Structure 1
Amino acid sequence: MNRSQQLGEEKVGKLLLKFSIPAIIGMLVNGLYNIVDRIFVGRGVGSLALSGIAISFPISLAIMAFGMLIGLGATSVISIRLGQQKREEAEQIVGNAFILLLGISLMIMVLGFLFMDPLLVVFGASSEVLPYAKQYLNVLLWGAVFQTIGFGMNNFIRAEGNPKVAMYTMILGAVLNTILNPIFIFGLHLGVAGSALATVISQFITAIWVLSYFLGNRALLKIRLRNLKLRWVFVKDILAIGISPFSMQLVGSVVAVLFNQTLVNYGGDLSIAAMGVINSITMLIFMPIFGIGQGAQPILGYNYGARNYDRVKRTLQLSVMGATGVMVIGFLMVELFPTAIMSLFSQDPELIQIGSFGLRVFLVMLPVIGFQVVVVNYFQATGKPRKSLFLSLSRQLIFLVPTLLILPKFWGLTGVWLAGPVSDFASSGLTAIWLLRDLKQLGSTKG
Structure 2
Amino acid sequence: MAKLTSEELGTRSISKLLISQSVPASIGILVMSLNILVDSIFVGNWIGSIAIAAINVVLPVSFFIGALGMAIGIGGSSIISRALGADNKAKAIKTFGNQITLTLLVTITMALIGLYFTDTLIPAFGGKGAIFDPAKTYYTIVLYGIPFLALCMMGNTVIRAEGKPKFAMIAMIIPSVGNLLMDYLFIYVFDWGMAGAAWATTTGYVLCFSYVLYFFLSKNSELKLTPQCLGLNFPIVKEISSLGVVTLARQATTSIVYLLMNNILFSLGGEALVAVYAIIGRMLMFALFPVFGITQGFLPIAGFNYGAQKFTRVRETINTAIKYAAILASLVFLGLFIFPAEIAELFLSNKEGLPEADKAVNAYVLQHTPNAMRWVFAATPIIALQLIGAAYFQAIGKAIPALLLTLSRQGFFFIPLILILPNMIGELGVWISFPIADVLATILTGWYLKKEIRKTLTKG
TM range (shorter): over 0.9
What do the CA deviations read for 1:212-254 (whole angstroms, capped 9, x no partner)?
Answer: 2112222111232120101111111111111112111111101
Q: 2:147: which partner in 1?
A: 145
Q: Is the 8 A contact 1:65 1:249 kept in 2?
A: yes
Q: 2:267: which partner in 1?
A: 265
Residue aligned with 2:287, SS: helix
Q: Is the 8 A contact 2:422 2:428 kept in 1?
A: yes
Q: 2:188: which partner in 1?
A: 186
Cα distance, 1:378 vs structure 2: 0.8
Q: Is the 8 A contact 2:67 2:153 kept in 1?
A: no
Q: 2:115: which partner in 1?
A: 113
Q: 1:250: which partner in 2?
A: 252
Q: Is the 8 A contact 1:174 1:202 kept in 2?
A: yes
Matched, 1:433 2:447: yes
Cα distance, 1:414 vs structure 2: 1.2
Equivalent of residue 229 in structure 2, options 227, 230, 239: 227
Q: Distance in 1 between matches of 2:457 and 2:424?
A: 48
Q: Distance in 2 between matches of 1:152 and 1:30?
A: 16
Counterpart amino acid of residue 38 in structure 2? V
CA 1:391–1:189: 2 relative to 1, 3 Å: same
Cα distance, 1:192 vs structure 2: 1.6
Equivalent of residue 128 in structure 1, options 127, 130, 145: 130
Relative to structure 2, which stretch is displaced further, 60-69 or 403-412? 60-69
Counterpart amino acid of residue 405 in structure 2? L
Q: 2:426: which partner in 1?
A: 412
Cα distance, 1:63 vs structure 2: 2.0
Q: Distance in 1 between matches of 2:455 and 2:66?
A: 33
Counterpart amino acid of residue 198 in structure 2? A
Q: Distance in 1 between matches of 2:169 and 2:4?
A: 20
Q: 2:353: which partner in 1?
A: none
Q: Is the 8 A contact 2:70 2:157 kept in 1?
A: no
Equivalent of residue 164 in structure 2, options 133, 137, 162: 162
Relative to structure 2, which stretch is displaced further, 171-180 or 82-91? 171-180
Equivalent of residue 379 in structure 1, options 365, 373, 393: 393
Q: Is the 8 A contact 1:36 1:181 kept in 2?
A: no
Q: Distance in 1 between matches of 2:100 and 2:293?
A: 22
Relative to structure 2, which stretch is displaced further, 214-223 or 429-438? 214-223
**Mind listing any 5+ residue stretches in structure 1 that lack a counterpart?**
none
Counterpart amino acid of residue 281 in structure 1? M
Cα distance, 1:287 vs structure 2: 2.3
Q: Distance in 2 between matches of 1:355 and 1:75?
A: 39
Q: 2:205: which partner in 1?
A: 203
Q: Distance in 2 between matches of 1:51 and 1:375?
A: 33
Q: Distance in 1 between matches of 2:120 and 2:44?
A: 25
Q: Which aligned segments of 4 or more residues in structure 1 are displaced greater than 6 angstroms?
A: none
Q: 2:94: which partner in 1?
A: 92
Kindly tell me the number of residue pairs found equivalent between the two proteins. Answer: 446
Cα distance, 1:404 vs structure 2: 0.2
Residue aligned with 2:87, SS: coil
| Mapping for residues 344-423 of structure 1, pairs under 5 Å | 344-347=346-349, 348-423=362-437
What do the CA deviations read for 1:286-336 (whole angstroms, capped 9, x no partner)?
Answer: 222221111111111111011100000101111101111121111111110
Q: Distance in 1 between matches of 2:84 and 2:160?
A: 12
Q: Is the 8 A contact 2:315 2:457 kept in 1?
A: no
Q: Distance in 1 between matches of 2:35 and 2:244?
A: 24
Relative to structure 2, which stretch is displaced further, 103-112 or 437-446? 437-446
Cα distance, 1:2 vs structure 2: 7.1
Relative to structure 2, which stretch is displaced further, 270-279 or 64-73? 64-73
Residue aligned with 2:130, SS: coil
Matched, 1:21 2:35: no
Equivalent of residue 33 in structure 2, options 31, 34, 45: 31
Normalising to structure 2: TM-score of the pair? 0.95
| Mapping for residues 218-367 of structure 1, pairs under 5 Å | 218-347=220-349, 348-367=362-381
Identity of aligned residues (%): 35
Residue aligned with 1:223, SS: coil
Cα distance, 1:445 vs structure 2: 4.4
Residue aligned with 2:145, SS: helix
Q: Distance in 2 between matches of 1:279 and 1:301?
A: 31
What do the CA deviations read for 1:160-192 (whole angstroms, capped 9, x no partner)?
Answer: 111111111111111111211122111111112
Residue aligned with 1:129, SS: helix
Q: Distance in 2 between matches of 1:443 and 1:366?
A: 28
Q: Is the 8 A contact 1:244 1:388 kept in 2?
A: yes
Counterpart amino acid of residue 437 in structure 2? S
Cα distance, 1:413 vs structure 2: 1.0
Relative to structure 2, which stretch is displaced further, 134-143 or 342-351? 342-351
Q: Is the 8 A contact 1:139 1:196 kept in 2?
A: yes
Q: Distance in 1 between matches of 2:263 and 2:242?
A: 32
Counterpart amino acid of residue 238 in structure 2? K
Q: Distance in 2 between matches of 1:192 and 1:305?
A: 48
Normalising to structure 1: TM-score of the pair? 0.97
Q: Is the 8 A contact 1:64 1:249 kept in 2?
A: no
Equivalent of residue 173 in structure 1, options 175, 179, 185: 175
Q: Distance in 2 between matches of 1:2 and 1:274?
A: 43
Relative to structure 2, which stretch is displaced further, 105-114 or 285-294? 285-294
Residue aligned with 2:74, SS: helix
Equivalent of residue 101 in structure 1, options 100, 103, 106: 103
Counterpart amino acid of residue 267 in structure 1? G
What do the CA deviations read for 1:30-82 (whole angstroms, capped 9, x no partner)?
Answer: 11232122111110111111111111121133123312210111111100000
Q: Distance in 2 between matches of 1:111 and 1:94?
A: 26
Counterpart amino acid of residue 51 in structure 2? A
Q: Distance in 1 between matches of 2:243 and 2:143?
A: 26
Q: Distance in 1 between matches of 2:166 and 2:224?
A: 18
Cα distance, 1:391 vs structure 2: 0.7
Equivalent of residue 214 in structure 1, options 202, 213, 216: 216
**Mind listing any 5+ residue stretches in structure 2 that lack a counterpart?**
350-361
Superposed CA RMSD in Å reads 1.3
Q: Is the 8 A contact 1:105 1:145 kept in 2?
A: yes
Residue aligned with 2:129, SS: coil
Counterpart amino acid of residue 368 in structure 2? I
